[in-house]
Amino acid sequence: MHDKTLAELARGLAAGDFSSRELTSSLLERVKKHDPAINSFITVTDEQALKDADAADTLRHKGEAGILSGLPLAYKDIFCTEGVRTSAGSKMLDNFIAPYNATVVEKLRHAGTVSLGKTNMDEFAMGSSNENSYYGPVKNPWNPTLVPGGSSGGSAAAVAAGLVPAALGTDTGGSIRQPAAFCGITGLKPTYGRVSRYGMIAYASSLDQAGPMARTAEDCAMLMNVMAGHDARDSTSVARNVPDYTQGLDKPLNGLKIGLPVEYFGDGLSPEVETAVREAVRVYESLGAQVIDVSLPHTSMAIPAYYVIAPAEASSNLSRYDGVRFGHRCDDPADLEDLYKRTRAEGFGDEVKRRILIGTHTLSEGFFDAYYRKAQQVRRLIRQDFLDAFSRVDVLMGPAAPTTAFELGAKADPVQMYLQDIYTIAINLAGIPGISVPAGLVDNRPVGLQILGPHFGEAHLLNVAHVYQQATDWHQRRPEIKE
């Protein structure tokens, strides 16, 4: 059962092949057995999961089950879940029990899904390897000496290891797509504003976006049908019709115009990853697509612009963790300043502190124009690059990351780590959607093909990804896990 896709499990439940309780308890067993080695979960909510599974089974008996009823999921521990610890991977929120559900959690709950728990992540979503978690690093199920990518590494690893068929992640600079690539699963970052951010702990508000991580594009489409849509509680969510993402997945790709950004195939890209990606592009050509080279001239500015904007917003977003109302508070503060200093010194990890310092600096008087304002100008240029490209092609394709998964501890230099996101970060700055699909294995390490589309082009991206998955079997490859 643990190898099946969400769509297959949905059919199995509908056909009565198994109950949600059977499915849920078998997965909870697997979590218990395998997760100690992977560390993909921070919190497992087994009791609640079984209760919810029973409720879903009851509904099904009454003939009131929806498509997603009884299907198990997991949430990156950045989504607030009522009555359950929501830590954001930080000591700061180790004791924080969210008193409410994030909008997406509420919607998926309403759709009948069953949450197995909360997955591990880089602290406050800051990281590309899942090594920045207060709860310890996540191991890549393909090889426990490798990182799973980050920041949604727990979600990616849990799906790859067959602990859960799908999980939610968030993506601020590549945090869904890069771990999806490293773990050999499918991960979609929707258009900014497509999915509500309410109840999703903020890292960089103008870039953060929640998305599905699953085995197939079809599974992502099923989840997007529930997740997407306007939320009156999130002013940046867009009031725009939500299509049925599962419709049109099979549409043939004859005449599809694919652009390959030349900047995404330059220095720094591992030759093996390039070979795999180009092979995937050839598959598309064989499916009737035309391929041309395009240019995104401001690509080299994406990482610098991101590392001004994201830390600036983060420095402000993380000010609320002050030890006054919730979360970690230092022992016996001498006075207010001592309370602030020690609470934050103890509660935050190094990478979080680093970004708060960067952001505080770039917003400071005398530096704002040179950094923040300039970065916003660059952001507009980057967005324009994509708009120009999409006036010529339907989708862009390239690698999701410059390499396959690297060894734990291999990137001690933060800047080396930041360069991991070179192909994903510009997409968040532009606000467009992107999906990573499994497209090969190099030394038994998955390679991710990234497909990008124009704003609100998720349905088409899912179609393009799905047709590829009908023609290839990379998404069906599973890591070997000793049962």
Partner 1 sequence: MQWEPVIGLEVHVQLSTCSKIFSGASTAFGAEPNTQACGIDLALPGTLPVLNENAVAMAVRFGLAINAEIPEYSVFERKNYFYPDLPKGYQTSQMAHPVVGRGEVDITLGDGTIKTVRIHHAHMEEDAGKSLHEDYSGMTGIDLNRAGTPLLEIVSEPDMHSAEEASAYIKAIHAIVTYLGISDGNMAEGSMRCDVNVSLRPKGQEKLGTRAEIKNVNSFRFVERAIAFEIERQAEILEEGGKIVQETRLYDPDLDETRSMRTKEEANDYRYFPCPDLLPLMLDEAYIEHQRSLLPELPSEKRQRFVESLGLSTYDANVLTGSRPLAEYFEAVQKLCGDAKMAANWVQGDLLGRLNRDGLDITQSPVNAEQLGGLLLRISDDTINGKAAKQVFADLWECRGETADEIIESRGLKQVTDTGAIESLCDQVIADNPVQVTQYREATEDKRGKMIGFFVGQVMKASRGTANPPQVNAMLKEKLDALL
69 an active-site residue?
no
User: Using CB under 8 A, which of 313, 385, 421, 458 touches partner 1?
Assistant: 313
Beta bridge partners of 290: 257
Q: Are the beta carbons of 135 and 417 closer than 8 angstroms?
A: no
**How many residues in the shown chain lie near partner 1 by CB under 8 A?**
43
Name the minimum Å distance from CB 66 to partner 1.
26
Residue 62 makes contact with partner 1 by CB under 8 A = no
Output 292 or 324, the one with its CB closest to partner 1.
324
Backbone angles phi, psi at 438, to 5 degrees: -60, 130
Q: Are the beta carbons of 232 and 194 closer than 8 angstroms?
A: no
User: Given strand 290-294, what is the order of strands in its sheet?
Assistant: 41-44, 114-119, 72-76, 166-171, 209-214, 186-189, 434-442, 445-452, 395-399, 257-261, 290-294
Amino acid sitting at position 325: R
Residue 324 makes contact with partner 1 by CB under 8 A = yes
Residue 396 makes contact with partner 1 by CB under 8 A = no
Q: Are the beta carbons of 183 and 144 closer than 8 angstroms?
A: no
Name the minimum Å distance from CB 230 to partner 1.
12
Name the minimum Å distance from CB 363 to partner 1.
4
151 an active-site residue?
yes
Residue 58 and residue 36: Cα distance in Å, rounded?
A: 32
Q: Are the beta carbons of 456 and 229 closer than 8 angstroms?
A: no
370 class by beta-carbon count within 10 Å (0-12 exposed, 13-18 middle, 19+ buried): exposed
Residue 368 makes contact with partner 1 by CB under 8 A = yes
Output 203 or 390, the one with its CB closest to partner 1.
203
76 an active-site residue?
yes
Name the minimum Å distance from CB 391 to partner 1.
26
User: Using CB under 8 A, which of 99, 136, 266, 409 touches partner 1?
Assistant: 99
75 class by beta-carbon count within 10 Å (0-12 exposed, 13-18 middle, 19+ buried): buried
User: Using CB under 8 A, which of 275, 364, 377, 444 touches partner 1?
Assistant: 364
Task: Pick the catalytic residue from 69, 133, 151, 436.
Answer: 151
Binding string, residues 370-389; x marks residues near partner 1 by CB under 8 A:
--x-----------------
Binding-site ranges for partner 1 (CB under 8 A): 79-80, 86, 88, 93, 96, 98-100, 102, 197-202, 204-206, 232-236, 312-313, 315-316, 318-320, 322, 324-326, 336, 340, 360, 363-365, 368, 372
Catalytic machinery residues: 76, 151, 175
